[in-house]
Structure 1
Amino acid sequence: MRNKKIAGSMATLAILALGLTACGGVGDQADNAGGPSLEPGATKEEYIAAFEDVEPIELNFQYAGLNAQGFSARRDIEWAETVEEWSGGKITINTHPTGAIASPTEVPDALVDGRLDLANYFGTYQPQEMSALVDMTKSLVQLPSSPLIAELASQAVLADVGFATPEVIANYEDRGMHVLHPAVPSGNTIAICRDDKDSPAEWQGSQIRGNAQAHETQVQALGGTLTSIELAEGYEALERGVMDCSLNSTATAINVGWLEVAPYIKLPQEASFAPGPGSMVAGSSWETLPLVAQQLMFDVMPVYISGEHYNAVTSVLMASETATENGGSMEYLDEESERALAQANEKILQQVEESSNVDGAAMNQNVADAIEKWTAIAEELGYSETGDVPNFTEWYEGSDDFGNREYLQPFADRLYEEVFLPQRPS
């Protein structure tokens, strides 16, 4: 059933995209080993036929997460398996968990020297080297938090603005990486805490883990102190009280089991916590791949994009349930803490405006425009929020089954058509 859905989705793209095959995109600038080319919207059967004379290809892919059953890992592994299937088995992608071949900060070197061919890379872990990317993620604090539309829009805005900003793409290309997806948020950022935080006084002195440069400004505004505890050490740190809270995506909170020891979730409403996204990148072997292999990796991106939307939305749903099961709750920040966060975000946007890495004023405006655009598209496609966070489980209309993403697929297809398709190699 999954392959039929993908084929149907891609068939509609062929009609929409005939005029795009001559457009220049990031993918068009990459070298390749040549060979046959397919039009956008090619079917699985057409791809298998095109690969008949292609020599077998073996690639190593370090996916996001430590557990193959985690939200981000399932997204990455399904994409890899779909590439293998649509190549008729000519492409083999060996999947490895985060850190198995290269630590998060070693990924660029591993992609260049050939230890890795594909990876989920956390660019915000290296803010000096990925300064334009970090500025873009900071600017996303303009996106109001919400459990559905904002979760959909965050991926769309980062992809749209990321591909359209030369400085962001240069951050990757200057280090030998080719971009398949410039910024994957894995869900918007929440605060999870050992104890409930219902007032500014209760945040005072808290040790709070963050994973983005902007989190220091936000944590200080709440009255806490930023700490940089490694992901693998977080559960014990929360359990022992060495760490009081963590800023991370809901998917991360579920994947690593931290809600068992930190079951109190706080979300902003009009304000938002800065994201710490990963990205989907290829290494030096990209240039040796046949053109049809490069095209296939782009053409199955609707699978990846909808998998990311599932991560973002369903992890909110599951986080709410898990928090309740462990004696906690999912609630909005109190009004005073929300105001403090909003003031911190104004400082962050000012930092972006004054940045020497990008045209900061243009970046802030482009992100604002993209937020408006993708929010409108979500509403146009029929997505609506008929409740709020505390009762999200009661009004969400989608499935919590990873294999059933029919509810989320229309937005994923629209994002692919408008943002990813123009980057397709040709």
Structure 2
Amino acid sequence: MKRIRSAAARPATVTAMLASLALLAGCAGSVGGSGSDSEASAGEGFAADASQDEIDEALADLDPVTLKFQPSAMSEKSILAPNGLDVKKAIEERSGGKITVDVVWGQAIASYDDVDDALADGRVDLAFTLPSYTPAEYPAFDALGTAMSTLPSSPVASDLAANAAGVQTAWETPEVLAEFEDKDLVPLIPMLAAGGYSTMCSEPMTSADDWKGQQIRVGSSAAGKQVTDLGATPVSLSFPETYEALQRGTVDCDLGQLAPNVEAGTFEVAPNIGVASDAGIARSAGAIVAGRKYSELPVAYQQVVFDAMSTTFSTMMEVVIGAKAQAVEQAKDNDGSVEPFDDDVQKQIATYAKTLSDKTAQKADVADVPSTLSSAGEEWQKTVTDLGFDDKGDFASLDEWYPEDASYDDLGDALFDTVMAEHRPE
């Protein structure tokens, strides 16, 4: 079972790097806001590396509780389902069965437009949200998501480093945290950038001329600006409509993460994948947040939930990177191609990504975010390498060299210990 492990059980490679990574960790603090000071939240907690017996003792006198969790997956059979199932298992087992997690699939209680309100009013207790969908309400978060486009892109290593750096930078940026708190939400993982973006097209699109005049479905205004800079026309279209639009030729490409397109069967109609390496596309990033009920829980219960965020991170990475390998396989099965963008296209993407990132950060009054993210990215790239998560080949052969049993638990542990532990409820 995937969960936070004690220091004694942690591999020496992870333990050895914690001190250097801690130098980059941000200001200390804890989640939960004023709720952790309330009578309902009172009580003794336990250490993050506590044994199960110690946890059971801390929870012994607490009443059982049920939490409604709305993850990103549409159903229990979804390729994204582990993002809900693994977290449920981690919380329930760590609590000794005192916490029951009721997983709600497919945004059945609240759509992404409504989930913030649902968390605040108690209809949902834990949820994956998409603040990138409302940049006017989350300008600092949007600036960080846009800055993600300036980081290197590769099938495995760079995505792992970028996601860890995104979590760290979000925790270190008070303006990002304040945007959640202003909505009475408790950030548990204040940014999950998930997988890098690729183009999925009906015909190959790698050269600068290939981009000219293409109709490309995008999921954010920042991505739309990047597409426009390359001479294409961005199209705002809901994801469920994209398959048919590609089939009919209404749009030429989808620009987004590969995981949901694996599930949607996109590569049947758009089997040609284009990938970047020097920089990428601004991501429609998400976050894991808690609502009113979490803030009212005893501190030991809050700690159980918060500690499971290591599992949330590692599972998300296993899902999105594993889906890349499936996407490559599906593209090939449909006589498609997997090719990097030409050098001049990559250079143009990188140049505009920096310009857009700086402008977005300045507008949100978080001008330091791009440099903070860059520094964190470099350090996490070293950690990823030390843990042995380097790319073993290129993107086009990912389906051949990516291990089916890949696990990023060690990276989740390192991220928790060096970044998240300072924000643990207490």
Q: Indicate whether the TM-score tops 0.5.
A: yes
The answer to whether the 8 A contact 2:331-2:337 is kept is: yes
Structure 1 CA distance, aligned partners of 2:172 and 2:80? 25
What is the rounded CA distance, in whole Å, between the counterparts of 2:32 and 2:103 in structure 1? 27
Where does residue 27 of structure 1 map in the other structure? 31
* Aligned mate of 1:216, from 224, 235, 254: 224
Q: Among 119, 124, 146, which residue is 1:111 paired with?
A: 119
Would the aligned equivalents of 2:206 and 2:274 in 1 still touch at CA under 8 Å?
no
The answer for the alignment partner of 1:417 in structure 2 is: 417
Asked if 1:384 is matched to 2:390, the reply is: yes
Distance of 2:58 and 2:332 partners within structure 1? 51
Corresponding residue number in structure 1 for 2:366 = 359
Could you tell me whether the CA contact under 8 Å between 2:226 and 2:352 is conserved in 1?
yes
Q: Would you say 1:39 and 2:47 are equivalent positions? A: yes
1:282 aligns to 2:286 (yes or no): no
Distance 2:344 2:235 in 1: 23
Check 1:68–1:253 CA distance in 2 against 1; reply closer, same or farther (3 A cut).
same
**What is the distance in 2 between the residues matched to 1:352 and 1:393?**
36
Asked if 1:261 corresponds to 2:269, the answer is: yes
Q: Measure how far apart 1:238 and its partner are.
A: 1.7
SS of residue matched to 1:274: coil
The match for 1:167 among 151, 162, 175 is: 175
For 1:41 and 1:55, how far apart are their aligned partners in 2?
23
Mapping of residues 237-248 of structure 1, within 5 Å: 237-248=245-256
* Residues 173-192 of structure 1 mapped to structure 2, 5 A cutoff: 173-192=181-200
Within 2, Cα distance between the matches of 1:28 and 1:129?
21
Aligned residues of 2:140 and 2:361 also touching (Cα < 8 A): no
Q: Note the aligned Cα RMSD (angstroms).
A: 2.5
The partner residue of 1:368 within 369, 374, 377 is 374
1:6, CA displacement in angstroms? Answer: 4.9
Q: Measure how far apart 1:353 and its partner are.
A: 4.7
Q: In 2, are the aligned partners of 1:154 and 1:188 still within 8 Å (CA)?
A: no
Asked whether the equivalents of residues 43 and 299 of structure 2 are also in contact (C-alpha less than 8 Å), the reply is yes
Which AA in structure 2 matches 1:43? S
Structure 1 match to 2:332:
324
Q: Please give the alpha-carbon distance, in whole angstroms, between the structure 1 residues aligned to 2:409 and 2:10.
A: 13
Q: Could you state the TM-score of these two structures normalised by the residue count of structure 1?
A: 0.90
8 Å contact kept, 1:147–1:388: yes
State whether residues 124 and 211 of structure 1, in contact with CA within 8 Å, keep that contact through their aligned partners in structure 2: no
The answer for the alignment partner of 2:68 in structure 1 is 60
Q: Which runs of 5+ in 1 are unaligned?
A: none
Give the Cα separation in 2 of the matches to 1:328 and 1:57: 50
Could you tell me whether the CA contact under 8 Å between 2:206 and 2:339 is conserved in 1?
no
The residue matched to 2:74 in structure 1 has which SS? Answer: coil
> In the comparison of the two structures, how many residue pairs are matched?
414
Once residues 268 and 341 of structure 1 are traced to their aligned partners in structure 2, the CA distance between those partners, rounded to angstroms, is 9
Range moving further from structure 2, 202-211 or 167-176 = 202-211
Q: Per-residue deviation at 1:220?
A: 0.5
C-alpha distance in 1, partners of 2:134/2:120? 17
1:419 partner amino acid = V
Contact 1:298 1:421 in 2 (8 A): no
The 1:10/1:81 distance shift into structure 2, 3 A limit, reads farther
Which of 238, 242, 255 is matched with 1:234 structurally? 242
Q: 414-423 or 306-315, which moves further after superposition?
A: 306-315
Q: TM-score, normalised by structure 2?
A: 0.90
Partner of 1:400: 404
Identity %: 31
Question: Does structure 1 retain, via aligned residues, the 8 Å contact 2:45–2:299?
Answer: yes
Instruction: Give the whole-Å Cα distance in 2 for the aligned partners of 1:10 and 1:250.
Output: 37
Asked whether the 8 Å contact 2:228–2:234 carries over to 1, the reply is yes
Q: Deviations over 1:21-73 (max 9, x none)?
A: xx942326452322231011123343233322211211211110213233433
Unpaired segments of 5 or more residues in structure 2?
none
Amino acid aligned to 2:369: M
Task: Select the residue among 113, 130, 137 that pairs with 1:129.
Answer: 137
CA offsets, 1:223-263, max 9 Å, x none?
A: 21112211222222222222221121122222322222211
**Distance (Å, rounded) in 1 between the aligned partners of 2:230 and 2:76:** 35
2:155 matched to which residue of 1?
147
1:326-345 residue pairs with structure 2 within 5 A?
326-345=334-353
